[in-house]
Amino acid sequence: MAKNIIVPAVKGTREFYPEEMARRNYIYEKVREASQSFGYQEWDAPYLETLELYAAKSGEELVKEQAFTFKDRGGSQITLRPELTPSLARMIAKKQRQLVYPLRWWSFGPFWRYERPQKGRSREFFQWNIDMLGPNSPEADAELIAVAAKFMQSVGLSPELARIYINNRGLMDSEFDKLAIPTESRLMVSNLVDRRSKMKADAWEKYALEAGLSEPQLDGLVALLENKDIWKEWDDLVRLFTALDALGVSDYVEFDPNVVRGLLYYTGTVFEAFDVSGSVRRSILGGGRYNNLLADVGGDPLSAVGFAMGDVVAGIVLEENGLIPEFEPSPAPVLVTVFGEEFSAESYALSAELRAAGINVSTYPEVTKMKKQFKFANKMGMRIALIVGSDEVENAEVAVKNLMSGEQVKVARAQVPEEIQKMLASD
């Protein structure tokens, strides 16, 4: 290889420099906070799975075109996991009779799909998955929606910036029955509804007729999709919105019959959260009720409701709305300088004393000019620098410099941890 040629990263993967890592960790912390506030347990599954696991549960496109696959040395077809639900189903089925229900699980980890990289989509992404297993009730569905709202609230996404739109598979099937839309055509109709917001009205109507809908069916479908009060005729949705009101998240939710995500996969409630802060709505998270979880992995029937959120779009939405906390270059707010070779042991001992007191500390790793050490501390966003020279050692003191104000004082060595904690608390 030619000298000084930097080998590029694999296309579609992501490099997490400290600033990007801080953003990812912020999202993870808020995900964890929202999940655990409702009593959900953290779990995870292998990053490598057999391709066979996805063959029955996932679509052909995911298995054949989007999965990163290879053969291991034993000849098995292996894939980097493209989604989590099949692993969830297998793990639940494996210990189905040993687990305690209702079971509340959440996870945040990496996934891989061979897609065309673009803004908001990469081949490697992190995803929050959260599910409740066991109960089959609108109130359980409401809890998952409330968890999503809790997350949005915690990161500063107000109802003016992000909203959760809700529909129900049972309601839509009932209305499709009234329109005499046959079962085998409902996937087509669902895809048609999904396209509605992306096309001009006349073009969409022409497309619908060409797809096989009659004029009366099209008129009925349009009337259905514009009826924002029809949920009041469906008992499960009445109970759902009553529970959401009791949970205090009514401001975040809205019924929308145009939300059809995976209606052939979901069995009841479906919901999707969108960024509504700009002219184009972007999906932040989505999910719903799916009561066929274990059918393909040998387990007994089990009701489930859950949703997933990728970190890529969520991160973009937060960044564009100025909701990512300011990056702190160093997790250590205190620098212990090294005044000279003969004082390095004193500096390291002081650092150890401060860490024992619960304070994050960096020690400058070589002897150099103090000006250079202070410059480093400023660039890293540190707030305090400590100096231990000949006078300080002789008098059992430490020079404490506030890098924000420039003020420097002498503090008795034994009192330094307490003084530092006071200074950090006051900033």
The residues, any chain, with a CB within 8 Å of residue 212's CB and separated by 6 or more, are 185, 188
Q: Does the structure show a pLDDT above 60 at 59?
A: no
Inter-residue contact 310 to 125 (CB < 8 Å): yes
What's residue 251's pLDDT?
A: 98
What's residue 278's pLDDT?
A: 82
The residues, any chain, with a CB within 8 Å of residue 375's CB and separated by 6 or more, are none
What's residue 264's pLDDT?
A: 64
Distance CA 386, CA 339 (A): 10
Q: Decide which of 66 and 136 is more confident.
A: 136
What would be the CATH architecture of the domain defined by 334-426?
Answer: 3-Layer(aba) Sandwich (3.40)
Q: Which two tokens stand for residue 66?
A: 């989007």
Q: Which two tokens stand for residue 206?
A: 């022409």
Rounded mean pLDDT of 114-143? Answer: 92
CA 172 to chain centre: 29
- DSSP notation for 10-57: PTT-----HHHHHHHHHHHHHHHHHHHHTTPEE----SEEETHHHHHH
What's residue 65's pLDDT?
A: 79
Q: Does the structure show a pLDDT above 60 at 259?
A: yes
Preceding amide of 365 cis, omega within 30: no
Q: Which two tokens stand for residue 376?
A: 């480093």
Our CA angle for 253, 259, 263, nearest 5°, is 125
Mean pLDDT is lowest, of 76-85, 142-151, 223-232, 241-250, for: 76-85
Topology annotation, domain 18-320: BirA Bifunctional Protein; domain 2 (3.30.930)
Task: Render pLDDT for 312-350 as a digit per residue (tens, 0 to 9).
Answer: 999 999 999 999 999 999 999 999 999 999 999 999 999
Count CA atoms within 13 Å of residue 387 on its CB side. 19
Q: Please give the single-letter amino acid code of residue 178.
A: K
Task: Render pLDDT for 109-118 as a digit per residue (tens, 0 to 9).
Answer: 999 998 887 7
Name the average pLDDT for the chain. Answer: 92
The pTM of the whole model exceeds 0.75? yes
CA distances from 175 to 66, 277, 410 (A): 34, 32, 78
Q: Which of 85, 136, 131, 122 is nearest to 265 (CA)?
A: 85
What's residue 58's pLDDT?
A: 56
Task: Return the domain boundaries, the chain.
Answer: 18-320, 334-426
Distance CA 230, CA 218 (A): 18
